[in-house]
């Protein structure tokens, strides 16, 4: 009778299989046999993954007090200014479709044509499976938008930052970034092995102090800021960062994921908003998933950088080329954005109206400029999740942003505006938020009073 195999046996067999296979395919010398480290078997349970227990506890606590899960909701239609979830209509503030281009006839039409011509997949990495005309057309259009030598598109915005930053910097280098920079920039910095130093949000003076103290310790230096910050809806003083990058001999990279289509009179981005030449920035990064209503990311910059990334960066060389309809959709969306600046103007009007009304109701909008991203900061995570739940019951879909995405005391609801929201919809939304928040705060006070009375 055979003995039931133990998990270690399976792992050992798998390890030996992998080792042998690698040894064969890469013609490496046979590895020296080493003793496997002692393993705590239970550590191999997926339930023991760091943070999983906390996740379950949070969900159980929310279930206990009857809060629905605000995440992973299934939209039954194109989610723009409005949406439908479980058969109910909602005003929607959880979509990045800032200029209402998702589903625009020109955008969907371009995607359809690309499917007819090339199918849905580019099949493999562009370096081996070859280009599709749509890849090059989109890259040319984006490079022309920023006036750069070239552009490279990748299949995910997050992977674009990880891949590009990971490939550009090495251990002797340094990356300086805003304290609120996106996770993809931090992950790219970690991958690169360069030193990572963060400076206070939107504070060039804080960066200057860091540069003064540490720039000389490193070979290359990269400064990264965002265009419009996705949690706070504010923007950096680009001219001040350009001045610092020149004085301290650094590259300056702007992640304009939320700035394209939003910042500046025509939505060109952070440079237009700040009245700075695009060429004063070394690297323009952005995503195709927001204003351009597609999926993917881009790096626009000097030809040597683009060529280097296209030929050496792992996330490009070893990853599939962008799906042809997605490239076509993004290119068409960029054209509509450039041809119809009135969309940008409508978005601005909507954001400004939301911000002004929120302030009138005494809501805390932090440092938001009142464009595409407007937070309503309410305090702790439970309050933010409860408020979001109450608004959902009143036909408003808005996500709570809670710790660790933001500090616990500044948990918030984050409203994404689009050019397609109506003034009436915005007025009604802000009034409902103010009403529900006030009810929530009064309710809390009542519970506290009740508890105080019980204790007496």
Ligand X SMILES: Cc1ncc(COP(=O)(O)O)c(C=O)c1O
Residues that bind ligand X (CB under 6 A): 156-158, 161, 182, 184, 226, 230, 255, 257-258, 287, 289, 297
**Positive/negative CA dihedral, 4, 7, 8, 12:** positive
For residues 189 and 174, what is the distance between their CA atoms, to the nearest angstrom? 9
Helix (H, G, I), strand (E, B) or coil at 88: strand
Smallest gap from Cβ 7 to ligand X, in A, equals 36
Select 157 or 315, whichever has its Cβ closest to ligand X.
157
Contact in structure between 331 and 134 (CB atoms under 8 Å): yes
Name the closest residue to ligand X (Cβ): 157
Select 159 or 194, whichever has its Cβ closest to ligand X.
159
Select 162 or 207, whichever has its Cβ closest to ligand X.
162
Instruction: Identify each DSSP E strand in 155-308 by its residue range.
Output: 174-178, 195-199, 221-226, 251-255, 283-287, 297-301
Tokens of 153: 């598109």
For residues 180 and 193, what is the distance between their CA atoms, to the nearest angstrom? 20
Select 67 or 159, whichever has its Cβ closest to ligand X.
159
Select 256 or 436, whichever has its Cβ closest to ligand X.
256
Helix (H, G, I), strand (E, B) or coil at 439: helix
**Positive/negative CA dihedral, 420, 422, 426, 432:** negative
For the packed helices 341-360 and 423-455, what is the interaxial angle rounded to 10 degrees? 30
Residue 76 DSSP label: S
Smallest gap from Cβ 294 to ligand X, in A, equals 9
Select 194 or 372, whichever has its Cβ closest to ligand X.
372
Smallest gap from Cβ 429 to ligand X, in A, equals 22
Smallest gap from Cβ 229 to ligand X, in A, equals 8
Tokens of 283: 């690297």
Contact in structure between 211 and 244 (CB atoms under 8 Å): yes
Give the H/E segment covering residue 326: helix 324-339
Q: Residue 349: CB partners within 8 Å, gap ≥ 6?
A: none
For residues 206 and 190, what is the distance between their CA atoms, to the nearest angstrom? 22
Smallest gap from Cβ 71 to ligand X, in A, equals 15
Q: Residue 317: CB partners within 8 Å, gap ≥ 6?
A: 125, 127, 310, 311
Select 202 or 230, whichever has its Cβ closest to ligand X.
230
* Ordered alpha helix ranges (H), 180-302: 183-192, 204-214, 238-247, 270-274
Smallest gap from Cβ 249 to ligand X, in A, equals 25
Select 231 or 437, whichever has its Cβ closest to ligand X.
231
Helix (H, G, I), strand (E, B) or coil at 287: strand
Smallest gap from Cβ 172 to ligand X, in A, equals 26
Listed residue (334, 373, 456) closest to 182, CA to CA: 373
Select 406 or 433, whichever has its Cβ closest to ligand X.
406
Select 100 or 233, whichever has its Cβ closest to ligand X.
233
For residues 295 and 156, what is the distance between their CA atoms, to the nearest angstrom? 6
Smallest gap from Cβ 160 to ligand X, in A, equals 7
Smallest gap from Cβ 177 to ligand X, in A, equals 11
Smallest gap from Cβ 21 to ligand X, in A, equals 33
């Amino acid at each position: 009778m055979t003995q039931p195999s133990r998990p270690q046996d399976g792992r050992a067999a798998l390890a030996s299989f992998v080792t042998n296979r690698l040894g064969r395919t890469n013609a490496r010398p046979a590895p020296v046999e080493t003793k496997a480290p002692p393993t705590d078997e239970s550590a191999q349970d997926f339930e023991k993954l760091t943070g999983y227990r906390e996740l379950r506890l949070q969900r159980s606590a929310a279930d206990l007090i009857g809060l629905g899960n605000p995440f992973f909701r299934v939209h039954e239609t194109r989610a723009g200014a409005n949406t439908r979830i479980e058969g109910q209509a909602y005003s929607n503030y959880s979509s990045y479709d800032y200029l209402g281009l998702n589903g625009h006839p020109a955008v969907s039409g371009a995607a359809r044509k690309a499917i007819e011509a090339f199918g849905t997949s580019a099949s493999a990495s562009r370096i081996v499976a070859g280009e599709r005309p749509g890849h090059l057309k989109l890259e040319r259009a984006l490079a022309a938008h920023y006036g750069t030598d070239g552009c490279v598109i990748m299949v995910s915005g997050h992977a674009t930052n990880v891949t590009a930053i990971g490939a550009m910097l090495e251990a002797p280098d340094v990356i300086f970034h805003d304290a609120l920079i996106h996770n993809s920039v931090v992950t790219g910095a970690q991958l690169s092995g360069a030193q990572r130093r963060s400076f206070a949000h939107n504070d060039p003076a804080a960066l200057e102090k860091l540069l003064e103290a540490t720039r000389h310790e490193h070979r290359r230096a990269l400064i990264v800021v965002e265009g419009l910050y996705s949690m706070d809806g504010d923007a950096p003083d680009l001219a001040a960062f350009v001045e610092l990058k020149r004085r301290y001999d650094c590259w300056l990279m702007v992640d304009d994921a939320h700035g394209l289509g939003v910042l500046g009179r025509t939505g060109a981005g952070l440079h237009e908003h700040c009245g700075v030449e695009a060429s004063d920035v070394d690297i323009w990064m952005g995503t195709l998933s927001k204003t351009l209503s597609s999926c993917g990311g881009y790096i626009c910059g000097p030809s040597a950088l683009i060529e280097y990334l296209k030929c050496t960066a792992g996330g490009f060389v070893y990853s599939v080329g962008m799906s042809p309809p997605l490239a076509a959709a993004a290119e068409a969306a960029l054209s509509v954005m450039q041809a119809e600046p009135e969309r940008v103007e409508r978005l601005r009007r909507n954001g400004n109206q939301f911000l002004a009304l929120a302030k009138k109701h005494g809501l805390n909008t932090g440092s938001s400029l009142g464009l595409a991203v407007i937070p309503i900061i309410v305090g702790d995570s439970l309050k933010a999740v409860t408020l979001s739940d109450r608004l959902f019951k009143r036909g408003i879909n808005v996500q709570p942003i809670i710790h660790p995405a933001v500090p616990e005391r500044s948990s918030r609801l984050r409203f994404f505006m689009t050019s397609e929201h109506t003034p009436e919809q915005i007025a009604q939304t802000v009034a409902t938020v103010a009403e529900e928040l006030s009810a929530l705060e009064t309710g809390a006070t009542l519970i506290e009073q009740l508890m105080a009375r019980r204790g007496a």
